[in-house]
Amino acid sequence: MAGLSATLRELPKHSRPRRRAVEVIAMKRHFSALALLLSCIALPVGASGLAAELVDGQGQPLANAVLSLKGVGASAHNEPAIMDQRDKQFMPTVLAVRSGTAVKFPNSDNIRHHVYSFSPAKRFELRLYKGTPSEPVLFDKPGVVVLGCNIHDWMVGYIYVTDDPWFAVSDAQGRLVIDNLPAGDYQVSLWHPQLAEMLPQAAGSLQVPEKGLSQRFPLAVAGAAPTEPTSPKPDAFGEAFRKATREVQP
Ligand SMILES: [Cu+2]
């Protein structure tokens, strides 16, 4: 099976699924339609890992879904992450980071934004600013952090903070890859902004063989995405999130 080049290393970053989409487009020039079809959710040649396709209740591609794995091994360190603001939107819409990660909030627009979160996992405020604030924001507790902008009410972004060592966010085609994943058994958690009360869902266990695994994950999401920042109920969220976290302990 034709594979994609092995460019995804270690802990997936938010930008990688997008980079991957660009690679897929580039590949169209080099492979037949059949080869492309086969390789769309294929793993890089020789790499073990998980290639996942996230779909909603109707089987349609589900973008901005987080898949995280708990089980074998752990990533070595937390790479700094970036939540950009571009064209009066948060980019990416969903950023997944490991607990203890520092996130930069550059403003790529030539107008000012005022970023805030009231979410229990991280309350903070970056008052009206342009450019990149000098200090990144540390996300040290697992949970969902809903971002808003005081100036532009429609700006909504999400930072999914997890203790799980392996995770990735699905791209516009609902696809994600977790590369260099040791073979073994994992517990799967899925999350999406449109899940009820924004709680992660336990999605069973997964046995990843040496040669890697491609799998489709359905996730029933309800209703439209929130149009303005709302935070989950602190108590209900905290308790349920802890419960979900416990349930996926190896
Ligand atoms: Cu703004």
Q: What is the CATH number of the domain that holds 41?
A: 2.60.40.420
pLDDT for 138 equals 97
Ligand 1 centroid–CA 113 distance in Å is: 4
Ligand 1 centroid–CA 89 distance in Å is: 8
Ligand 1 centroid–CA 240 distance in Å is: 31
Q: Is 3 domain-assigned? A: no
Q: Is 121 domain-assigned? A: yes
Q: Is 2 domain-assigned? A: no
Q: What is the mean pLDDT of the chain?
A: 78
Q: Is 1 domain-assigned? A: no
21 compared with 43, residue with greater pLDDT: 43
Q: Is 44 domain-assigned? A: yes
Q: Is 136 domain-assigned? A: yes
For residues 95-101, average pLDDT: 95
For residues 124-143, average pLDDT: 94
Residue ranges making up the domain that contains 162? 9-250
Ligand 1 centroid–CA 100 distance in Å is: 26
Q: Is 250 domain-assigned? A: yes
What are the E-state strand segments in 84-165?
84-86, 89-91, 94-98, 101-104, 113-117, 124-129, 137-139, 143-149, 156-162
Ligand 1 centroid–CA 149 distance in Å is: 5
pLDDT in tens, 101-133: 999 999 999 999 999 999 999 999 999 999 988
Enter the pTM of the model.
0.73
Q: Which residue is it, tokens 């020039």? A: 29
How far is it, in rounded angstroms, from Cα 72 to Cα 165? 9
The pocket of ion ligand 1, defined by CB under 5 A, consists of: 113, 149, 151-152
How far is it, in rounded angstroms, from Cα 26 to Cα 145? 34
Tally the domains of the chain: 1
Task: Flag the least confident range among 14-28, 109-123, 158-172.
Answer: 14-28
Q: From edge to edge, which strands make up the β-sheet containing 213-218?
A: 175-179, 49-55, 213-218
Ligand 1 centroid–CA 86 distance in Å is: 9
Q: Quick one: tokens of 93?
A: 């819409």
Ligand 1 centroid–CA 66 distance in Å is: 25
Ligand 1 centroid–CA 64 distance in Å is: 21
pLDDT for 53 equals 98
Q: Is 218 domain-assigned? A: yes
pLDDT for 249 equals 34
